Amino acid sequence: MMRQAKPAVARRPLNYQEVWGRVGIYAFLGVVALFFLLPLYVMLVTSFKSMDEIRLGLIFSLPRQFTIDAWVKAWTSACTGLECTGLRVGFGNSVKILVPSVVVSILLGAVNGYALSFWKVKGANVLFACLLLGSFIPYQVFIYPLVRVYAQTGIYGSLAGIVLTHVIFGMPVMTLLFRNYYSGLPIELFKAARIDGAGFWKIFVSIILPMSAPIAIVAVIMQVTAIWNDFLLGLVFAGRENLPMTVQLNNIVNTTTGERAYNVNMAATVLTSLVPLAVYLLSGRWFVRGIASGAVKG
């Protein structure tokens, strides 16, 4: 007897109700995305226009005469208060604040998380509860006491002062992040290392740290974004010499004399947000994971 040929089924039959549902979802998502992208579009087109063109008031139109004068001005010669040196000084300051703050806060968070999850420190739970509490208190509350303490110790208005501030405020979240990650590692690993004769730092450096790459990337993303975007702490603690880019941007945009240079303002704003934007675009997957690992695990 011949075997009957199987009826050929090329693909799953379409369910039209489902298809229309899909179309609806994508249409909605598209509209929402456009809504959020619109300000960015306006900023970009405005920054490439001349002031004459802006005065016409057609904010959605593409620039008739494409110019990067505004960008150059924002970077090199826009006035922040009395000095007219543009944003590059602020960019430099922000980098100077960012790098040590990110490195130190992540290292401290990693050590804290390691100590809390592997070494049964006496009162570890109380310590951890205090740290957690710290991450829930609005940091504006701490500003005045911190200013007093810094003034007493002489680091007020210095680079060290602003770095220390970022490290302090970053510690609760960093500790939480690393503790949650480390508590997922098998405790036997730690026990085996102790039998092998490794101490606190040896275990951390040789075994735990090399395994921390995924969470360290998440931490870098979170800290870079938070510290770069900070305005208030920079304004209060950095001092005149070290004002970060965000503060200088504010000074450019809020200058009240004469005509508002919208194109320069827009260019300056985009320039300032370039770093977190780049971090986000280059690491979207990790970024989401960071948010999830902070929120879901407790």
Partner 1 sequence: MSSVSLESLDVSYGNVQIVRNLDLNIRDGEFLVLLGPSGCGKSTLLSAIGGLTDVSGGRILFNDKDVTWTDPKDRGIGMVFQSYALYPTMSVERNLSFGLRIAGIDRAIIEKKVKWAADLLQIAHLLDRKPSALSGGQRQRVAIGRALVRDADIFLFDEPLSNLDAKLRAELRLEIKKLHKTLKSTMIYVTHDQIEALTLADRIAVMKDGIIQQLDTPLNVYNKPANEFVGSFLGSPAMNKVEGALVADGDHLSFAAGDFRLDVSRYPFTQKVESGRKVVLGLRPEHILPASGSAAAIEGKVSLVEPMGSSILAWSVFDGLSLSHLVGQDDGCEADRTFAVTIDVQKASFFDVETGWRL
Binding site for partner 1 (CB under 8 A): 186, 188-189, 191-198, 202, 206-207, 210-211
| Smallest gap from residue 202 Cβ to partner 1 (A) | 6
Residue 51's closest CA among 69, 74, 78, 72? 69
Compare residues 211 and 291 and give the one whose CB is closer to partner 1: 211
| Smallest gap from residue 112 Cβ to partner 1 (A) | 21
Residue 58, classed as helix, strand or coil, is coil
Compare residues 144 and 201 and give the one whose CB is closer to partner 1: 201
| Smallest gap from residue 276 Cβ to partner 1 (A) | 31
Please state the φ and ψ torsions of residue 83, each to the nearest 5 degrees. Answer: -85, 140
> In angstroms, rounded to a whole number, what is the distance separating the alpha carbons of residues 50 and 43?
13
| Smallest gap from residue 215 Cβ to partner 1 (A) | 14
| Smallest gap from residue 232 Cβ to partner 1 (A) | 40
Q: Which tokens belong to 273?
A: 């947000």
- Biggest alpha carbon distance in the chain? 99
The CB density around residue 192, as the number of other CB atoms within 10 Å, is 13
> In angstroms, rounded to a whole number, what is the distance separating the alpha carbons of residues 220 and 232?
21
Compare residues 84 and 192 and give the one whose CB is closer to partner 1: 192
Compare residues 104 and 124 and give the one whose CB is closer to partner 1: 124
Compare residues 127 and 198 and give the one whose CB is closer to partner 1: 198
Residues in contact with 9: Cβ distance below 8 Å, sequence separation at least 6, in sequence order: none
> In angstroms, rounded to a whole number, what is the distance separating the alpha carbons of residues 291 and 288?
5
> In angstroms, rounded to a whole number, what is the distance separating the alpha carbons of residues 239 and 161?
9
| Smallest gap from residue 59 Cβ to partner 1 (A) | 54
Residue 65, classed as helix, strand or coil, is coil
| Smallest gap from residue 193 Cβ to partner 1 (A) | 7
Compare residues 198 and 226 and give the one whose CB is closer to partner 1: 198
- b/e map 29-39, b = 16+ CB within 10 Å: eeeeeeeeeee
| Smallest gap from residue 141 Cβ to partner 1 (A) | 36
Compare residues 119 and 144 and give the one whose CB is closer to partner 1: 119
Residue 125's closest CA among 183, 66, 167? 183
Compare residues 128 and 156 and give the one whose CB is closer to partner 1: 128
> In angstroms, rounded to a whole number, what is the distance separating the alpha carbons of residues 86 and 92?
11
Identify the burial level of 74 via C-beta atoms within 10 angstroms of its C-beta, where 0-12 means exposed, 13-18 middle and 19 or more buried.
buried
